[in-house]
């Protein structure tokens, strides 16, 4: 893709469409949630992720389900790359966009990568790609065949890694830690700005019910309650309170959230209201502590 600044230099009359980032992020969260139902999930970006599918089903049976899960809520197309490693799966996913599926069978990784430019490999950026080109290495096949002694002066010990990458050797596991949620939250944007306390409390009670239900579904409790307020001029504030013990019940969330509201709201028109819980424990931990 061409950088926006370069595009505007070439076409000064170019007009940019404003991105709807709240909607984009909401779709991303939904897609990631759907994907996480298939196995451990490691997000790469707002629209890319690795999923460890294990070996329970044939890939050709999983792909239609993946697409169905994604499109059912978001109507978005999806490109899929299936392989035995993250490196090869990432390369494969870029093969047949926007709705393609490329499956690289176990044992065929090196053959699949061989004709591709080395710059397609994870870990080969512009600087490394240029250095390889200066050695006459353009494709993964070139990189595999070249004597390691040719690479060592330029790349040192990384030369071994480069040749492994060109063969599809990548032992990195799918790491779900970036996907682990640090907070369970929800928010609501009002059709019209709200200035009445009772209306805010009614909405806050509904939000607390939603968060409480999600905490219950995930067997979690939390100690920190966060209130989010956006005024009519789009100024946004967040305020939080950390409690001495963990809570999950809607009534307890509402009690703390109401305290935060009363301390930080003095009648301004409210455009958006949100509530979140973090610093998680589990229900079993809470019961043990209570006991």
Q: Give the strand pairing for 48-51 and 220-231.
A: unpaired
Burial of 210 (0-12, 13-18, 19+ CB in 10 A): middle
Output b/e per residue, 63-77; b: 16+ Cβ within 10 A: beebbebbeeebeee
Helix and strand totals (H; E) in the chain: 12, 8
**Catalytic residue of the set 48, 138, 209, 214:** 48
- Give the Å distances, CA to CA, from 247 to 42, 94, 207, 259, 288: 29, 45, 15, 15, 14
DSSP character for 180?
Answer: S
**Is the distance from CB of 165 to CB of 129 less than 8 angstroms?**
no
Give the rounded distance of the alpha carbon of 215 from its chain centre: 20
Rounded to whole angstroms, the Cα distance separating 45 from 159 reads: 28
**Is the distance from CB of 224 to CB of 194 less than 8 angstroms?**
no
Angle at 96 between CA 94 and CA 97, to 5 degrees: 75
Reply yes or no: is the peptide bond before residue 140 cis, omega within 30 of 0.
no
Is 48 catalytic? The answer is: yes
**Is the distance from CB of 200 to CB of 213 less than 8 angstroms?**
no
Rounded to whole angstroms, the Cα distance separating 276 from 187 reads: 8
Catalytic amino acids? 48
């Amino acid at each position: 893709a061409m950088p926006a600044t370069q595009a505007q230099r070439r076409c000064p009359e170019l007009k940019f469409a404003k991105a709807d980032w709240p909607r984009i992020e909401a779709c991303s969260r939904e897609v990631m949630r759907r994907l996480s139902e298939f196995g451990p999930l490691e997000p790469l970006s707002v629209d890319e992720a690795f999923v460890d599918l294990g070996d329970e089903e044939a890939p050709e049976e999983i792909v239609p389900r993946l697409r169905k899960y994604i499109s059912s809520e978001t109507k978005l197309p999806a490109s899929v790359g299936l392989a035995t490693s993250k490196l090869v799966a990432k390369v494969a996913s870029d093969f047949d966009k926007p709705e393609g599926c490329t499956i690289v069978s176990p044992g065929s990784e090196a053959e699949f990568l061989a004709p591709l430019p080395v710059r397609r490999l994870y870990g080969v950026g512009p600087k490394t790609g240029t250095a390889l080109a200066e050695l006459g290495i353009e494709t993964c096949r070139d990189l595999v065949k070249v004597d390691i002694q040719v690479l060592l002066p330029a790349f040192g010990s990384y030369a071994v890694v480069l040749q492994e990458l060109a063969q599809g050797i990548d032992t990195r596991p799918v790491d779900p830690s970036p996907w682990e949620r640090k907070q369970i939250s929800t928010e609501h944007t009002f059709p019209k700005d709200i200035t009445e306390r009772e209306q805010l409390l009614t909405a806050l009670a509904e939000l607390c019910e939603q968060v409480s239900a999600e905490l219950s579904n995930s067997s979690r409790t939390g100690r920190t309650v966060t209130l989010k307020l956006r005024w009519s001029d789009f100024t946004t504030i967040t305020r939080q309170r950390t409690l001495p013990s963990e809570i999950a019940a809607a009534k307890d969330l509402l009690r703390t959230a109401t305290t935060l509201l009363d301390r930080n709201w003095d009648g301004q028109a409210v455009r958006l209201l949100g509530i979140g819980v973090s610093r998680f424990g589990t229900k079993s931990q809470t019961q043990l502590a209570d006991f």
